[in-house]
Structure formats: structure tokens, C-alpha cells
């Protein structure tokens, strides 16, 4: 297999069972207890901004993106990112991250955040969110809270508890909800 044999595309509903298998193998049952999982439980992910890598007929890697909000800020949260063991170290993970950030920018998102290893994500443009600026609904290693700023000043607007945007919006009085967000949560 060469990198040219791998096709990248936005995630489709039909990919979901294979994605779930890849994530189960990569993260095990512990994935359900993670802070990022708790946030993702709060609402749907953005399928059009999430990507899969396909080889032949099979999904071999996936990255998902979820809308989050904290304080005055909004961002997409990247993850889970996982590559099937036989396909690791071929640049597929890196390429999925680049595609996801590019798509986020094109869609007008000001920032992408994640919980992950700085040695991996640092070269892809991620920097630590300053300690104490944000928290998550479950304990998280604050040194692993990373972000790429797409629009200047976007990271400093993220303050306090990060959660799924739908949960944050639902907790606001109706008059404080953004018009589009209010429509989304009905
Ligand atoms: C982490 C993961 C997504 C990387 O995907 P990949 O396609 O294998 O990685 P790439 O080919 O893009 O990059 C490979 C490079 O990243 C390095 N790397 C992989 N995981 C790393 C990590 N956790 N920390 C630092 N570097 C890492 C590799 O050593 C390799 O380095 P090299 O280029 O100097 O040889 C993949 O290993 C995976 O699915 N792991 C299990 C799930 C996981 O941990 N996901 C990330 C959540 S934070």
C-alpha cells in the first residue's frame, strides 16, 4: 500500500460502525470515562467537518469534530482521532488533522481545540491553552488541553467550563441565546 491508495472524505453515516470499531480498539472501554467523551455526549458531532480515510472498501482512520463553547468563545473540538494499527505511521493521522483544521477554517470556525499529546499535535500547530483558563466537565490533564487559533483572539475568549455548544446554549436564558443556536436546540 502507498499513501496514494488512501482516499480521504467527509464522514458519512454509513461509516459509523467501522469508526466505532476503530475507536474501541484504539481507546478501549476507558474512552467512555474521558472528559472529551462527556462533552461529545452533549450533542451531535459535525459530520461534514469530520473525515475518514478509506483503503479499498474499509475505513482505516477517522477524526471527528464537535461544536463546543466556553465563556464568550466557540470552537470545534477535534477527536477522537484514531488510525487502525496496520496503517499507523504513514502520515494518515497527520493528514486527517490537517483536513479537519482546513475545513473548520473554511466553515468560519475561529479555533480548534483538543485533549491530546503535545509532541504529536504541536508540529500540527496546536499550543497549550494557558493553565486555569478553561476546565472540562470531567477531570482532565490541563497540559493536554491544546488549541489552534484560526481567528486572532479566539482562544482568549474560551473561558471557564468547555462543553458541547448545545448544552451551553440550553443553559442560557432564551434571550441570551444566539439566534442560530436557539433554533438548533429548538
Ligand atoms: C496517534 C495516532 C492517531 C497517530 O496516527 P498515525 O497516522 O499513526 O500518525 P502519523 O503517521 O500522522 O504520525 C506518525 C508520527 O507521530 C508519532 N506519534 C504517534 N503517536 C504519538 C504520540 N502520542 N505522541 C507523540 N508522537 C506520536 C509517531 O512516532 C510518528 O513519528 P515520526 O514521524 O517521527 O516517525 C495513532 O497512532 C492512533 O490511532 N493511536 C491510538 C489512538 C490515539 O492515541 N489517538 C490520539 C488521541 S490524543
- Per the CB < 8 A criterion, the answer to whether 59 and 53 are in contact is yes
**Which homologous superfamily does the CATH classification assign to the domain defined by 3-185?**
Gcn5-related N-acetyltransferase (GNAT) (3.40.630.30)
Residue from 1, 63, 93, 98 to probe ligand 1 pocket by mutation (most atoms less than 8 Å from CB): 93
pTM of the model: 0.93
Q: What is the pLDDT of residues 59-94, one digit of tens each?
A: 999 999 999 999 999 999 999 999 999 999 999 999
Residue from 18, 23, 88 to probe ligand 1 pocket by mutation (most atoms less than 8 Å from CB): 88
Q: Which atom of ligand 1 is nearest to the CA of 95?
A: 12
Residue 147 CA to residue 23 CA, distance in Å, equals 22
Q: What is the pLDDT of residues 144-185, one digit of tens each?
A: 999 999 999 999 999 999 999 999 888 877 777 766 554 443
In the chain, domain spans: 3-185
Amino acid at each position: 500500500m502507498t499513501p496514494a491508495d488512501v482516499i480521504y472524505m467527509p464522514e458519512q453515516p454509513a461509516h459509523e460502525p467501522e469508526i466505532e470499531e476503530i475507536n474501541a480498539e484504539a481507546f478501549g472501554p476507558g474512552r467512555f470515562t474521558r472528559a472529551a467523551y462527556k462533552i461529545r455526549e452533549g450533542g451531535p458531532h459535525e459530520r461534514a467537518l469530520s473525515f475518514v480515510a478509506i483503503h479499498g472498501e474499509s475505513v482505516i482512520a477517522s477524526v471527528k469534530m464537535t461544536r463546543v463553547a466556553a465563556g464568550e468563545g466557540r470552537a470545534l473540538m477535534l477527536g477522537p482521532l484514531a488510525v487502525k494499527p496496520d496503517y499507523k505511521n504513514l502520515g494518515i493521522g497527520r493528514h486527517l488533522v490537517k483536513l479537519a483544521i482546513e475545513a473548520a477554517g473554511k466553515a468560519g470556525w475561529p479555533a480548534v481545540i483538543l485533549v491530546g499529546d503535545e509532541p504529536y499535535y504541536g508540529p500540527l500547530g496546536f499550543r497549550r491553552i494557558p493553565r486555569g483558563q478553561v476546565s472540562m466537565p470531567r477531570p482532565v490533564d490541563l497540559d493536554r488541553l491544546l488549541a489552534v487559533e484560526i481567528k486572532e483572539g479566539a482562544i482568549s475568549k474560551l473561558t471557564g467550563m468547555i462543553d458541547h455548544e448545545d448544552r451551553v446554549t440550553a443553559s442560557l436564558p432564551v434571550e441570551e441565546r444566539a439566534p442560530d443556536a436557539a433554533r438548533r436546540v429548538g
